Amino acid sequence: MIDRTQVEAILDKIRPAIQSDGGDVELINIREDKVIEVRLQGACKGCPMSTLTLKAGIERVIKEEIPEVKEVISV
């Protein structure tokens, strides 16, 4: 089982970079199939670069620290 506290700690580390562009990220759910659901907020919501932020930024960092994570998706 993936630890919610560990995921929150990782998000707290990357949050300042996201907030510097006027956005934010919220952890919504950690599914049994090891998929993490997040919600992009602020300027990230609807931004054309949000997919890149999600996959190349948030997902990459989380997978580096928690290799068993399969995917990070926006809900």
Asked if the model's pLDDT at residue 18 lies above 90, the reply is: yes
Confidence of residue 12 (pLDDT cuts 50, 70, 90): very high
Measured from the Cβ of residue 47, the count of other Cβ atoms closer than 10 Å reads 15
Number of domain units in the chain: 1
List the CATH number of the domain containing 17.
3.30.300.130
Asked if the model's pLDDT at residue 46 lies above 90, the reply is: no
Which has the closest alpha carbon to 12: 30, 29, 24? Answer: 24
The Cα 23–Cα 12 span in angstroms is 13
- DSSP of 13-51: HHHHHHHTTTEEEEEEEE-TTSEEEEEEEETTTT-TTHH
The pLDDT value given to residue 47: 85
Q: Which domain holds residue 41?
A: 4-74
Distance from the first to the final alpha carbon of the chain = 21
